Amino acid sequence: MSEKNYRFIDACWRKPVDYTPIWIMRQAGRYMKEYQDIRNKVSFLELCKTPELAAEVTILPIDKLGVDAAILFSDILIPVEAMGMNLEFGDGGPHLGSPVKNKSDVDRLIVPSPQEKVPFVMETIKLLRKELDGRVPLIGFSGAPFTLASYMVEGGGTSSFVKIKTMMFKDPETIHALLNKVAKTVICYLNAQIEAGAQAVQIFDSWAGTLSPRDYQEFALSYTKQVIDGLNRENIPVIYFVQGNPGVLELVKQAGSDVIGVDWRINLDVAWNRVGYDVAVQGNLEPCALFLPKDKLEERAKEILNQAGGRPGHIFNLGHGILPQATVENAKFLVEAVHKFRIQNTEDRTQTRE
């Protein structure tokens, strides 16, 4: 086995590390030529469902960027398809045929066995653990119940969320039945990933930031907490990321994750102070900052590291996924810039220094 770089895992548990670990959401994706070359040969879903290719794409940023964790290449809608919905990807993004409109639609959905319905995910994880050979830990993931339910009701992506919010307010019985079934699916799905070898898991709640605090608590938080409580998570850190989360940060903490992902709409030090220092935080560079000249990009990175104040428990990341227009050169530069700021006297919570 090669020497392990598990600073990421240590940071999740708020253990002292010699430098801040970094990985990047969507780090294996469209901004890389190698990824595009593979995509020119297979569809997106074929890529997700072919373990050898999915593993190859997952490892790309480890080799090219030097990040401190790998994240399984897949899509958050894979378990939704397994529940019985038709999933397609086009130029406009994902499309789910026959969206959920009523209780009968919910009743037709199943809570699938991951091993039976999506075995390729577990095969990819097992292959990755072998190929990574301990170089960096592997993160598994799923969408959160509210985010997945949003896609299922809307039939795809949306900017208004009118359909799911109408269901929330006019037919709460149906939306709660759907969320409960999705939560059970996510529990099974993530536990299967953990059993296959995932060393951490992230729960993406991409759309929960569109909710008021009251609605977030009822329709998102309670079901994410149900998921986290249902995980076989001994020695497996759980990251919970809500995009657009500054208004509900204190509620986000109640879900019970070990790490809270922070987007770029709030300063990291303010966010960490609000959730408390008994939890790790992940974030939170504005994704478009990767378009900056390198000296300015380094300034932004240093600013966030200084906001973290040398406290154990900071994982550097973007505030959301890396954009297709980003360059590998700047992404690699960011990783190197974060790594070169050594953490001094973490027990005294002093600032990071170059």
| Active site residues per annotation | 26, 30, 39, 75, 151
DSSP per-residue string spanning 117-163 = H-HHHHHHHHHHHHHHTTSS-EEEEEE-HHHHHHHHHHSB--SS-HH
Backbone angles phi, psi at 107, to 5 degrees: -60, -30
Rounded CA separation 228/239 (Å): 10
Q: What is the CA radius of gyration of the chain?
A: 19
Closest CA to 45 of 104, 142, 105, 120: 120
Alpha helix stretches (DSSP H) within the chain: 7-12, 33-39, 44-48, 51-65, 78-82, 103-108, 114-117, 119-132, 145-154, 162-170, 172-196, 213-216, 222-229, 249-253, 268-275, 294-308, 328-340
8 Å CB contact between 49 and 122: no
Sheet of 314-315: strands edge to edge? 70-71, 138-143, 200-205, 238-242, 259-261, 280-282, 314-315
Beta bridge partners of 89: 94
> Dihedrals φ, ψ of 311, to 5°?
-70, 140
Report cis status (omega within 30 of 0) of the bond before 284.
Answer: yes
